[in-house]
């Protein structure tokens, strides 16, 4: 599946990214990462902040590539995360892991699940910490006008 195919089936829409938009999202990514490291927060709160950082990262890549989801469409978070192989070139194993993080976050946020472990949190943070420099390098190389 390509990004253009996702447009054809209505999951994505063309989008012209602007520098101020990407910079605002990058600042939000950094705030979410900082929040995720506040040890006084619960694991559920830290997972929510970590997931927000992950989603912002994927959103930045998608928008810089010229696409966006419709927030009113169900599953827009999943589509944003699933587009990472098409934007940053991540692999399928990572996509499955990101979907597991999304489900864990949804259980905590919508079902009150309080079983977020230290390991869950550490894995999500490590993933975001690994993807962040990759995103920044990709932006500098592919979309320097947005930096």
Under 8 Å between Cβ of 43 and 115:
no
Q: Report the predicted TM-score, pTM, of the whole model to 2 decimal places.
A: 0.93
Please tell me the distance from the alpha carbon of residue 48 to that of residue 46, in angstroms, as a whole number: 5
**Which of left, alpha, beta for 53 (phi over 0: left; psi -120 to 50: alpha)?**
alpha
139: CATH: 1.20.120
Rounded-to-integer distance, Cα 76 and Cα 120, Å? 23
Domain coverage including residue 76: 3-146
Structure tokens at 105: 């976050």
Instruction: Judge contact between 99 and 78, C-beta under 8 A.
Output: yes
CB atoms within 10 A of CB 110: 8
pLDDT by residue for the chain (147 residues), tens only, comes to: 799 999 999 999 999 999 999 999 999 999 999 999 999 999 889 989 999 999 999 999 999 999 999 877 888 888 999 999 999 999 988 988 888 888 888 777 777 777 778 998 999 999 999 999 999 999 999 999 999
In DSSP notation, 104-119 reads: HHHHHHHH------HH
**How many independent structural domains does the chain possess?**
1
When the pLDDT of each residue in the chain is averaged and rounded to a whole number, the result is: 92
> What is the per-residue pLDDT across 117-146, written as a single tens digit (0 to 9) for each?
899 899 999 999 999 999 999 999 999 999
């Amino acid at each position: 599946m390509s990004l253009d195919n996702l447009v054809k089936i209505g999951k994505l829409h063309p989008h012209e990214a602007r520098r101020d938009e990407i910079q605002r999202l990058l600042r939000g990514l950094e705030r979410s990462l900082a929040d995720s490291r506040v040890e006084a927060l619960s694991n559920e709160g830290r997972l929510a902040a970590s997931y927000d950082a992950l989603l912002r990262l994927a959103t930045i890549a998608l928008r810089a590539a010229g696409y966006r989801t419709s927030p009113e469409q169900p599953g827009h978070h999943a589509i944003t995360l699933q587009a990472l192989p098409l934007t940053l070139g991540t692999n399928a194993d990572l996509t499955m892991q990101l979907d597991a993080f999304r489900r864990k976050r949804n259980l905590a946020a919508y079902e009150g699940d309080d079983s977020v472990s230290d390991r869950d949190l550490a894995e999500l943070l490590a993933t975001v910490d690994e993807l962040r420099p990759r995103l920044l390098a990709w932006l500098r190389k592919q979309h320097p006008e947005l930096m």
